[in-house]
Amino acid sequence: MTVPPILELKDLAKTYQVRQGMFSPKLPLKAVDGVSLSIPRGETLGLVGESGCGKSTLAKLLLGLEKPTAGEILVDGVAVSGASWRKELSRRIQPIFQDPYSSLNPRKTVRRIVAMPLEVHGIATAHERARMVEEILDVVGLPRRAADSTPNQMSGGQRQRVAIARALVMRPEIVICDEPTSALDVSVQAQILNLLLELRRDFGLTYVFISHNLAVVEHLADRVAVMYLGRIVEDRPAAEVFAGPRHPYTRALLESVLTPDPALGVPDTRLGAVFPNPIDPPSGCAFHPRCPHAAERCRGDAPAPKADGGGRVACHYPIERTA
Ligand SMILES: Nc1ncnc2c1ncn2[C@@H]1O[C@H](COP(=O)(O)OP(=O)(O)O)[C@@H](O)[C@H]1O
Ligand SMILES: [Mg+2]
């Protein structure tokens, strides 16, 4: 019998109803549009794409913070749904968000913040919880005295360590990291990435690692999924993607990070035309207005994902393999 992946998404979709002006009618916005992905236990999926493509919405669906409009999420092969889904899964799936300042109460002590998930789930006695907090602070490289500090007394990197400690104190199996280093200085980013790598090894974690920057996932991801306007356009083993992207959008993202400008938070994809309005997506392949190779067919006909080596690519005219 084959072991099911720890996490599997089947045709997952989330449509928001939005107004563009106060008096205009509500229109559907497909933030996540038919996403299917599979993540084996212990692997890291790097989910990349420009701001607004739907990465955080996908993270919220995985965390049970938003309800899918369609599709399924399976954990260890079992479909999860219903009202108890969030609580049931928060033991197994924990988030680390981009901005620890807004996700951590700045006036509570680190001790309280990190103990909170344990309290909410009624895990252990107060005495045991205190010990578990000290242990996890050690694990994330914070001194014990940090327990009595508040986040507003700490640096950005230390705050992100607190957020990691809070996620790990529950001993989750899956960690959803949504741009966990994007708000940090470049030197601190590397420290946090290294910490996440160590933790993956020591705790056997499975990560969904989200970034707008393909370069950030290079040293972490086993697999890379590239998202454009709510859809996955390329999903392949990371080594293959970095050796030779197949989708023109992936190549544009890669080229944009070959000339990194640390002052720029968002890589310049040099794609000219701006990211399309998700309420009024382009016809055919959503990427065609920005694609250097777009042909007539791309304007009318949306490409379905096709098997490609160890993964899938959704493009009528994928880039030729060089190797
Ligand atoms: N709660 C919401 N209501 C309406 N639209 C939303 C909501 N959350 C996100 N969106 C829209 O969904 C799209 C994807 O957003 P998001 O998932 O935050 O993208 P990313 O994390 O890749 O930047 C964007 O167009 C955004 O404006
Ligand atoms: Mg986001």
> Which tens digits make up the pLDDT trace of 295-309?
999 999 999 999 998
Least confident of 104-113, 169-178, 186-195, 264-273: 264-273
| Residue 265 reports pLDDT greater than 50 | no
pLDDT at 262: 46
Rounded distance, CA 280 to CA 187, Å?
40
| Residue 66 reports pLDDT greater than 50 | yes
Number of residues that make up the chain: 323
268: pLDDT confidence band, cut at 50, 70 and 90? Answer: low
Q: Considering the chain, what percentage of its residues have pLDDT values greater than 90?
A: 74
Q: Which atom of ligand 1 is found nearest the CA of 54?
A: 17
* Ligand 1 pocket, mutate which of 57, 212, 233 (most atoms under 8 A from CB): 57
pTM of the entire predicted model = 0.93
* Ligand 1 pocket, mutate which of 29, 33, 58, 210 (most atoms under 8 A from CB): 29
Instruction: Name the residue type at position 138.
Output: D
> Ligand 1: which residues within 6 Å by Cβ?
16, 18, 29, 31, 49, 51-57, 278
Cα of 52 from ligand 2 centre, angstroms: 7
Average pLDDT over residues 272-278: 78
Task: Report residues near ion ligand 2: CB below 5 Å.
Answer: 55-56
Cα of 128 from ligand 1 centre, angstroms: 40
274: pLDDT confidence band, cut at 50, 70 and 90? Answer: confident
Cα of 106 from ligand 2 centre, angstroms: 22
> Distance from CA of residue 253 to its chain's centroid?
16
A 10 A CB-CB count for 97 gives 21
Relative to the alpha carbon of 50, which ligand is closest? Answer: 1
| Residue 84 reports pLDDT greater than 80 | no
Q: Which atom of ligand 1 is found nearest the CA of 60?
A: 17
pLDDT digits (tens, 9 = 90+) for 196-247: 999 999 999 999 999 998 988 998 999 999 999 999 999 999 999 999 999 9
Laid out side by side, the sheet with 70-75 consists of 27-39, 7-18, 70-75, 78-80
Residue 159 burial (C-beta neighbours within 10 Å; 0-12, 13-18, 19+): buried
Cα of 110 from ligand 1 centre, angstroms: 30
| Residue 117 reports pLDDT greater than 70 | yes
Rounded distance, CA 317 to CA 233, Å?
12
| Residue 263 reports pLDDT greater than 50 | no
Least confident of 51-65, 73-87, 170-184, 296-310: 73-87
pLDDT at 261: 52
DSSP label at residue 149: S
| Residue 6 reports pLDDT greater than 90 | yes
pLDDT at 125: 95
DSSP label at residue 2: P
Rounded distance, CA 44 to CA 300, Å?
35
Beta strand pairing call for 44-48 and 206-211 = parallel
